[in-house]
Amino acid sequence: MATKIDYYAVLEVSRDANGDEIKRAYRKLAMKYHPDRNPGDTDAENRFKEINEAYDVLKDDQKRAAYDRFGHAAFEGGGPGAGGFDFGGGGLGDIFEQMFGDMMGGRRGGRRSGADLQVQVTITFAEAFSGVKKKITVPTRVTCESCDGTGSADKDAKPETCPSCHGAGKVRAQQGFFFVERPCPTCHGSGHLIRNPCKECHGTGTVEKNRTIEVAIPAGVEDGTRIRISGEGESGGKGVPAGDLYVHVSVEQHAIFQRDGANIYCRVPVRMAQAALGTEIEVPVVDGSRTKVKIPAGTQTGEHFRLRGKGFSVLRSSARGDMYIQVVVETPRHLTKRQRELLEEFEGDAAGHAKGSPESTGFFSKVKDFFEGKL
Ligand SMILES: [Zn+2]
Ligand SMILES: [Zn+2]
């Protein structure tokens, strides 16, 4: 038997690659080496077969585990080496059902379906706040209209049952004392033969097409959220349900608002004298409105003021987060002569007025304790 290349190496993925990474790698390579794109190139054809074989094993958790444990021996005649399978209970038939049952296409809840699709969509901070409908274009395979998905150029021709597998789509071959089941090489697993393949879809029954889908992104969505849209993935071909579409949502950062869960934070500068005397400031809200916030006399830098219910919606709930205004007291620069005089006069007065500086009072009494060895 010819030496086989490691399945992970075939798909150019690491041994700890997850299901999505394996699927992506498979799609990329399968596109590149597909026989339709490389007519008459035997190397590409062999590579394509290898890629499919590797993917059949690595996409299935059970088969992958068997492969990780036994290598290619898990799927070859002569059976696994030391260690072996546990043949108790179900018998050979069940084991092969488990190991090779899913040779074609994805499965969900035990039924076959078209492949799932992944798309990325980026929305603004404000769109995440209010919710938004986005039109997205999805490259996908849809049922070929030219042949109604039959794959045959002659629509009325009854599909012939494949003579190799008698319509089963898979063949069993004896290798050593094992029976190995694999997709029928004559009909590629479909179970029937097309004498006169459709020119649009090359007999596959599906064609690639861009579809535009409107996706409702709910208010309150967070960066990195994945939305599943059932049945909007790739067509599964005739009689097989379509896969699902997964929309990965990225949310852009905002110049003045930050987010933490459902709460929104906004840093607002307040002039030194305003903070000391107290004032009312106008602050922006994410929805584009404005609201007034009372800043009491003696507000310190870093103090928060809560605007209840002005935060993000909480998904799948009627709750809302809050918005927090975080005050930053600004020290004036480039003083005029008059300002300088006033501040000098103010400072002369402030020095003898300890209660007026709550931070300093606490701090300097601790400094005194520190030098006296009490701290
Ligand atoms: Zn067949
Ligand atoms: Zn067609």
- The closest of 246, 94, 250 to 181, measured between CA atoms, is 94
Yes or no: say if 143 and 237 are a contact pair by the CB < 8 Å rule. yes
**Interval 222-231 mean pLDDT:** 90
| Best CA proximity match to 138, nearest among 243, 52, 30 | 243
What is the tens place of the pLDDT at every residue in 277-335?
A: 999 999 999 988 999 999 999 999 999 999 999 999 988 788 899 999 999 999 999 99
In this structure, how many other beta carbons lie within 10 angstroms of the beta carbon of residue 33? 20
pTM (predicted TM-score): 0.53
1-70 — its CATH code?
1.10.287.110
Of all residues in the chain, what percent carry a pLDDT higher than 90? 31
Q: In whole angstroms, give the CA distance from residue 98 to residue 369.
A: 75
CA of 206 to the centre of ligand 2 (A): 6
Per-residue pLDDT tens over the stretch 156-182: 777 788 888 888 888 887 777 777 788
Q: Hey, where are the domains in the chain?
A: 1-70, 117-159+194-251, 257-330, 337-372
Instruction: Using the predicted structure, report yes or no on whether residue 65 has a pLDDT greater than 50.
Output: yes
Q: Is the pLDDT of residue 88 over 50?
A: no
Alpha carbon dihedral 250, 256, 260, 263, in 10-degree steps, equals -120
Tens of pLDDT, residue by residue over 106-116, are 444 445 677 88
Ligand in closest contact with the CA of 202 = 2
Give residue 76's pLDDT.
Answer: 59
Q: Cβ-count burial of 359 within 10 angstroms (0-12 exposed, 13-18 middle, 19+ buried)?
A: exposed
Distance 161 CA to ligand 1 centre (A): 8
144 marked among binding-site residues: yes
Decide if pLDDT at 2 tops 80: no
- Give the model's confidence band at 82: pLDDT under 50 very low, under 70 low, under 90 confident, else very high: very low
Q: Which DSSP string do the residues of 329-345 spell out, in sequence order?
A: EEPP-S--HHHHHHHHH
> At residue 44, what are phi and psi to the nearest 5 degrees?
-65, -40
Q: In this structure, which CATH number among 3.90.1150.10, 1.10.10.10, 3.40.50.300, 2.60.260.20 belongs to the domain 257-330? A: 2.60.260.20
Q: Minimum-distance ligand to the CA of 150? A: 2
Give distance in angstroms: CA of 49 to centre of ligand 2.
Answer: 23
Kindly report the average pLDDT of the chain as a whole number: 81
Q: Which CATH architecture has domain 117-159+194-251?
A: Sandwich (2.60)
Tell how far the Cα of 291 is from the centroid of ligand 2, in angstroms.
61
**266 marked ligand binding residue:** no
Question: What is the Å distance from ligand 1's center to 74 Cα?
Answer: 24
Distance 163 CA to ligand 2 centre (A): 22
Q: Token digits for 345?
A: 């006069």
- pLDDT for 79 equals 38
* Residues with CB in 5 Å of ion ligand 2: 144, 146-147, 198, 200-201
Is the predicted pLDDT of residue 40 greater than 90, yes or no? Answer: no
Weakest-pLDDT range from 54-68, 151-165, 316-330, 334-348: 151-165
- The candidate with the shortest Cα–Cα distance to 327, out of 252, 234, 262, 265, is 265
Of the listed ligands, the closest to the CA of 149 is 2
What's the gap in Å between 78 CA and the centre of ligand 2? 42
Question: What average pLDDT does the segment 84-101 reach?
Answer: 37
The residue among 33 and 256 whose pLDDT is bigger is 256
More confident residue, 191 or 290: 290
Q: Which ligand places an atom closest to the C-alpha of 167?
A: 1
Beta-sheet strand order (sheet of 304-307): 258-260, 263-271, 323-330, 304-307
Q: Helix or strand or coil: residue 277?
A: helix
Task: Check if 117-159+194-251 and 257-330 are the same fold.
Answer: yes
- Please give the pLDDT value at position 237: 62
Q: Which pLDDT belongs to residue 42?
A: 82
Residue 96 has pLDDT above 50, yes or no: no
> Per the structure block, which two tokens stand in for 67?
């492969």
36 C-alpha to center of ligand 2: Å?
14
Asked if the model's pLDDT at residue 337 lies above 90, the reply is yes
Rounded to the nearest whole angstrom, what is the distance from the C-alpha of residue 98 to the centroid of ligand 2? 33
Strand 245-251 relative to strand 258-260: parallel, antiparallel, unpaired? unpaired
pLDDT digits (tens, 9 = 90+) for 201-218: 888 788 888 888 899 999
Report how far ligand 2's centroid is from the alpha carbon of 114 (Å): 17
The residue with tokens 């007519």 is 39
Task: Please determine, for residue 87, whether its predicted confidence score (pLDDT) is greater than 60.
Answer: no
